[in-house]
Structure 1
Amino acid sequence: MTKKIVIVGGGTAGWLCAGILAAEFTAGLEITLVESPDVSPLGVGEGTWPTMRSTLKRMGIRETDFLRECSASFKQGSKFVGWRTGASDDFYYHPFSLPTAFNELDYHTLWRDSDGRSFDQVAGVQSRICELGLAPKTITVPEYAGALNYGYHLDAGKFSALLQRHCIGTLQVKHVLDHVVAVEQGGNGDIDAVVTQHRGKLEADLFIDCSGGRSLLLGEQLGVGFVECARYSINDTALAAQLPYANDQAPIASATIGTAQQCGWIWDIGLSSRRGVGYVYSSAHADADSAEACLRRYAQETAPHVPEQDISVRKFNIRPGHREKFWHKNCVAVGMSAGFIEPLEASALALVELSAAMIRDELPQNRTQMEIVARKFNQVFTYRWQRIVEFLKLHYVLSQRRDSDYWCDVVQAQSIPGELAEKLELWRSRPPYVRDFLQVEELFPAASYAYVLYGMGFCGENAPVRRFDGERARQLMQEEQKKFHNYQKAMPSNRKLLDTVAQFGLSKV
C-alpha cells in the first residue's frame, strides 16, 4: 500500500505536485518534499492554462490571495505577431474560449465568407476583448469564475513560495531542506530511499522526481533514456529579462505576446507589477551577442522609459525533448525531469498539473497496480508529448517568412512530424475536427489547431461544397456581436480589475 511519497526537488513543479496530492488525501498518506537549500527559485514570468483555476481551487487557495501574492494577472490566450509574413499588420490570436458549437458549425466557411475579419474574430469575442486590454470578468464575479475563459500570468518564484507555505501550513506536507547525496535501490530495482547529507535516509513507496533537467532519479539513477526533439524544435537557448511598467496605471496585456524574430521569437508576459520578456532562439542561427542585442532592441522599443543599463539579461539552455518513459519502477518524473521544450504555448505548468492529477487519481496501492498504472501513465504522456511537439511545430510550418536562414530551415519537410504532415494534407480539403484526435482529454483540441491554422492564413484546396446551416450561423454571429458589445461596456481593463482585487478581493461565493 502506498503510504509514503517522497518528492525530490521543490520549485513550482515540486510544490504544485505536493499540493495537488496532499489536498486529495486527508489521512493515510505521508508526503515529504526534499530540496536543496542552495537552489533559489527563479522569478521568471510564466503563463498558465485555464486548468490552473480548478487546480488552485481544489487545493484550497483563494484566488484573491493567489493574485495578490504572485504578482499574477489574467491571461486569456496568446497573441502571435509577425509569424506569417512579418508585416506590420501580421498578428492573430489563439484565445482560451472555444468557439460556440465548434463541432457543429463550419467556422472555416464562416471565416472564408466573412468581410475580411480574422478567423479568431469570426470564431468568438475573446480576441477583440484582448485587443482592448479588457479583463475576463468583473469584480462581482466569484473567485475562479469568469465570463470568458482565462488562465494566469504569474511570477514563478512567488508562486512557488505561496505553494510552499500552503502545503506546509495547511496540507501538512513535510519539508526537508537538505542535499540528496545518494540513492539506494532494492533487489527488484525499485528505489528504497534517497540519502540526504544531514537527515539521512528518506524512505518511501513512491518517489516523484522534480529535480529539473538533471532528472536525478529517473534519468541518472534509473537510467531512463531521453528522446531528442531538436529535429522538430530547433530553438535551444533562451534569454530572459524583467521590465518595470512606466507607471502604476500602465496597461497590462490580456494575452501572452509572442513576436517572431529573425532567429526565433520573443515572449512578453504582463504581470501585475512588471513585464517579463525573453528571446527563445536557435544558437545555430544566432550567437549570444546578437541574440541579446535583439532582446534589448525589443525592450527599448516597448519600454523606452527603462535605461538600457538597468536591464539584466539571464541565459538558459533548452534541450528539447522528453524521457523515453516517465514512470519506471516506483519513480515518476514530473516537470523538467520529464522533459522540456520551448514555452511557445505555456505547456510546462499544464503538464505538471496533468501529471500530478493522474498520480492522484491512479495512485497504486500495491506493486502489481503500480506496474499497470505506470504503463498507462507512460502511454498517456508519450501521446501528450507527441501532440505538444506537433502543435508547436504547426506555428512554424505555415510561415511565409523567408527573410533568414532560420525561417527557411523551420519549414523544411524533414522537420515536420509525420502525423502533422498527414493532418495538414487532410486539412487541405476540410477543417480540423474532433475525430482528428484520439483522446477525450486532448491538450490542444481541434479548435486550437484551427486558430493557428487559419491565423497563419492556411487555405485549403477547393473541395465539394458541404451542407451549411446559414441561418444558424447568422443567428450565432448576431449573438456573438451582441455579446461583444455587452462585454465591451461591462468589462474593466485588466489593470483596473487587478487593482480592485488588490484593494477589496473577489467574492468567495
Structure 2
Amino acid sequence: MNIQKVAIIGGGTAGWLAANHLGKALLDKNVSITLIESPDIPTIGVGEGTVPAIRKTLQSFGISETEFIKRCDVTFKQSIKFQNWLDKHIHGSNNYYHHLFDPPSPMGDDLSDFWLQGSTKTYADLVSSQHAVCEANLAPKLITTPEYQAIQGYAYHLNAAKFALLLADNARQKFAVNHIKANVVATKLHLDGSIDSLILDNMGQQKFDFYIDCSGFESILLAKALKVPFVDKSQQLLVNKAIVVQVPTEPDAIIPPYTRATAHQAGWIWDIALSSRRGIGLVYSNAHLQDEQAEQKLNRYLDGRLSEYSYRTIPMHVGYRKQFWAKNCVALGLAQGFLEPIEATSIMLTDFAAGYLANRFPTNTEQMAGLSERFNQTMTYAWERVVEFAKMHYCLSDRSDSAFWIDNRDSKTIPEGLHNKLALWKEYVPMSEDLFSKFEVFNVENYLYVLYGMKYGTKAPHTNAKSLAEAQKHANKIEQRAQLLCKQLPSHRELLQKIHQFGLQKV
C-alpha cells in the first residue's frame, strides 16, 4: 500500500522541525502532511540552545537568518563555558573551560601533543582564537558577513516558543503542511498492531497511513498506544530534576556569546542569555540534593531574587525508547526520550532524526520493515553516544566535595563504550579514527575540548625539537589571529542591534 497521508502529532520545536524536513522532502511526491497540535499543551521551552548543524537545516528550509534572528529573540552561541567543574582547591575557585564551536588547531597540525608538553595556556586558548573572542563577549561575524556564513563557528540561543511559530509558518507556506488544532483522545489499532486511526476531540476519527509522534514526554502513540518500552539511563546519568526560571535583563546588559554551565554539589546550572532575558535552569540529582536545597542553591545563584520570578520544577525521566520506529509510527523529540541538556542535545537529536527520516521515508508499507530496522539501529547508536558524551563531563571531574561527584566516578555508572575510549585516550591523543561510525553525534574536536578542558591526563608523547618549534609557530599564528579578531569583531549586542536594524546580506 502506498503511503499518501502522514500525520504529525504535536507541535513545538520537534513537530515543526519534522514538518519542515518531511514537507521539503515529500513536496512533489503526492504525499499530504497534517500536523495535529493540542491547543491545551504549551511548548516546554526549556532547551533554548542549539548546535552549529542547525544553521544548515534552517538554510535548507529557505528561512532567512535575519528573519529568524528578529522573530525568535536569537543570540549567537559560540561555546559552552563550563565553570567550577573541577576541584576548586586544586584548580582555583573560578576554574573554567570552553567547549568551542570552531575546530581546534585550524592553521596546521593538531596542537594537542604540544599542549600536553606543559603549556601554561588552557587547551581552548592555545588551539583556537575563538576562546579570546568569547571571553571578550564579541560576535562571531560582521554585519557584512552573509546569512549563515561565519568568521567563527556558531549556533544560536533562541526563544523556543517563537521558534516553533516561525517553523510552523514556514512549513505551512512553503511545504503545504496542513495544521489542525485538536486533542487526540484515542488511538485505534489494526489487527497487526499498527495504528489505524486517531480519534480527535473536535473532528472525530481521522485515518492516516503513517504517524510521527511528537507528543513530548507523554508519547501518546509510541509509548501509550504501541507500548514500546523505555530504556532507563538514570544509573549512568544521575541528574533527574530541573528548576527552570526566566529572568529579565537590562536593555544594555552584556550578552555572553556562549552558554554558561556552572557546576554545583549535585549537578549544574545552565544560563542562556537572550537579548532581553536569561533562561536559567538548575539540574540536580534528587538522590543527592533535596528539592528545598535545590531551590536555595538557585536562589543564591540569582542573588536572593528567585521569589521575584515564576519558576517550576520539571522531573526528568532519563533515557530513550527501545524502538524509535514501531510499525507505522516514528517518535521524534521528547517522545523519543530525554537526556539532560548538557550539550544542547534535544534539538540536535530531533533535527538529526527528522532529517534522517525525511531522506529515508517509505513510499509504501512494504518498505517499512527494512527501513525501521536501520532507523532504530542508527538512532540507538546516536543516543548511546550522547549518553557517553554527557557522562564524560561528570566522570572526568576531580571534585570530591559531595557524594554526587564521587558516585559519578564509580566505574559501575560509566558506559562500557566510554570506559574503553578513556582507556585508549590515557595513552593516545584522540583522533577521528577512534570514532568509526558516520553516525557519530559528536566529533573528535568535541571530545578534545572537553577532555583537555578538564585536564585529562593523556600520556605526553615524545616530540622532537623541530616539531615543537613548528607547533609554537602554529600557536603564535592562532594568538595573532585572536588579537586581530578582538579588534575587528563587534560586541555581541552591537551586531544583534545592527541585524535588527539593517539585516544580514542574503547569500
TM-score bracket relative to the smaller structure: over 0.9
Unaligned runs of 5+ in 2: none
Task: Indicate how the Cα distance of structure 1 residues 415 and 308 shifts in structure 2: closer, same or farther if over 3 A, else same.
Answer: closer
Q: In the alignment, does 2:58 pair up with 1:62?
A: no
Aligned to 1:492: 490
Task: Indicate how the Cα distance of structure 1 residues 134 and 116 shifts in structure 2: closer, same or farther if over 3 A, else same.
Answer: same
AA matched with 1:337: A
Aligned to 1:275: 278
How far apart are the structure 1 equivalents of 2:40 and 2:362? 33
Normalised by the length of structure 1, the TM-score is 0.95
How far apart are the structure 2 equivalents of 1:402 and 1:252? 32
How far apart are the structure 2 equivalents of 1:206 and 1:349? 23
Q: Is the 8 A contact 2:47 2:344 kept in 1?
A: no
How far apart are the structure 1 equivalents of 2:419 and 2:484? 41
Q: Is the 8 A contact 2:197 2:207 kept in 1?
A: yes
The 5 Å alignment of 1:86-97 reads 86=88, 87-97=92-102
Aligned to 1:52: 54
Q: In the alignment, does 2:122 pair up with 1:118?
A: yes
> More deviation in 401-410 or 147-156?
401-410
> More deviation in 464-473 or 181-190?
464-473
Q: CA deviation at 1:234?
A: 0.8
Residues 193-238 of structure 1, C-alpha deviation per residue, up to 9 Å, x if partnerless? 1121121222222110001111111111111111000010110100
> More deviation in 81-90 or 464-473?
464-473
Q: CA deviation at 1:161?
A: 1.6
Q: CA deviation at 1:365?
A: 1.4
Q: Is the 8 A contact 1:84 1:457 kept in 2?
A: no
The 5 Å alignment of 1:83-482 reads 83-86=85-88, 87-100=92-105, 105-113=109-117, 115-245=119-249, 247-300=250-303, 307-461=305-459, 469-470=467-468, 472-482=470-480
SS in structure 2 opposite 1:300?
coil
> More deviation in 75-84 or 176-185?
176-185
How far apart are the structure 2 equivalents of 1:141 and 1:461? 42
Q: CA deviation at 1:180?
A: 0.6
Residues 155-189 of structure 1, C-alpha deviation per residue, up to 9 Å, x if partnerless? 11111122122222332211111111111222322
How far apart are the structure 1 equivalents of 2:191 and 2:203? 24
Q: Is the 8 A contact 1:105 1:469 kept in 2?
A: no
Residues 381-431 of structure 1, C-alpha deviation per residue, up to 9 Å, x if partnerless? 111111000001110111111111211211111111111111111111111
SS in structure 2 opposite 1:248?
coil
Q: Is the 8 A contact 1:76 1:150 kept in 2?
A: yes
Task: Indicate how the Cα distance of structure 1 residues 476 and 368 shifts in structure 2: closer, same or farther if over 3 A, else same.
Answer: farther
Q: Is the 8 A contact 2:132 2:486 kept in 1?
A: no
Q: CA deviation at 1:53?
A: 0.9
How far apart are the structure 1 equivalents of 2:74 and 2:273? 9
> More deviation in 467-476 or 408-417?
467-476
> More deviation in 81-90 or 140-149?
81-90
Q: Is the 8 A contact 2:47 2:346 kept in 1?
A: no
SS in structure 2 opposite 1:159?
helix
Q: CA deviation at 1:26?
A: 2.4
Residues 430-465 of structure 1, C-alpha deviation per residue, up to 9 Å, x if partnerless? 111112112124211111111111111111346666
Q: Percent identity?
A: 39
Q: CA deviation at 1:505?
A: 1.0
Q: CA deviation at 1:254?
A: 0.7
AA matched with 2:55: R
Normalised by the length of structure 2, the TM-score is 0.95
SS in structure 1 opposite 2:97?
strand
Q: Is the 8 A contact 1:78 1:257 kept in 2?
A: yes
AA matched with 1:90: N
Unaligned runs of 5+ in 1: 302-306
SS in structure 2 opposite 1:243?
strand
How far apart are the structure 1 equivalents of 2:392 and 2:306? 35
How far apart are the structure 1 equivalents of 2:416 and 2:461? 23
How far apart are the structure 2 equivalents of 1:66 and 1:131? 26
The 5 Å alignment of 1:74-85 reads 74-85=76-87
Q: CA deviation at 1:337?
A: 0.5
Task: Indicate how the Cα distance of structure 1 residues 197 and 274 shifts in structure 2: closer, same or farther if over 3 A, else same.
Answer: same
How far apart are the structure 2 equivalents of 1:498 and 1:54? 20
Aligned to 2:6: 5
How far apart are the structure 1 equivalents of 2:382 and 2:306? 41
Aligned to 1:18: 19
Task: Indicate how the Cα distance of structure 1 residues 308 and 465 shifts in structure 2: closer, same or farther if over 3 A, else same.
Answer: closer
Task: Indicate how the Cα distance of structure 1 residues 150 and 337 shifts in structure 2: closer, same or farther if over 3 A, else same.
Answer: same
AA matched with 1:459: G
SS in structure 1 opposite 2:76?
strand
Residues 338-374 of structure 1, C-alpha deviation per residue, up to 9 Å, x if partnerless? 0101100000001111111011101111223211111
Aligned to 1:304: none
Q: CA deviation at 1:101?
A: 5.7
Residues 12-68 of structure 1, C-alpha deviation per residue, up to 9 Å, x if partnerless? 111111112112332312110112111122444510011111111111111111111
Q: CA deviation at 1:112?
A: 2.2
Detail structure 1 runs of 4+ shifted over 4 Å in the superposition. 462-468
Q: CA deviation at 1:2?
A: 2.4
AA matched with 1:265: W
Task: Indicate how the Cα distance of structure 1 residues 362 and 290 shifts in structure 2: closer, same or farther if over 3 A, else same.
Answer: same
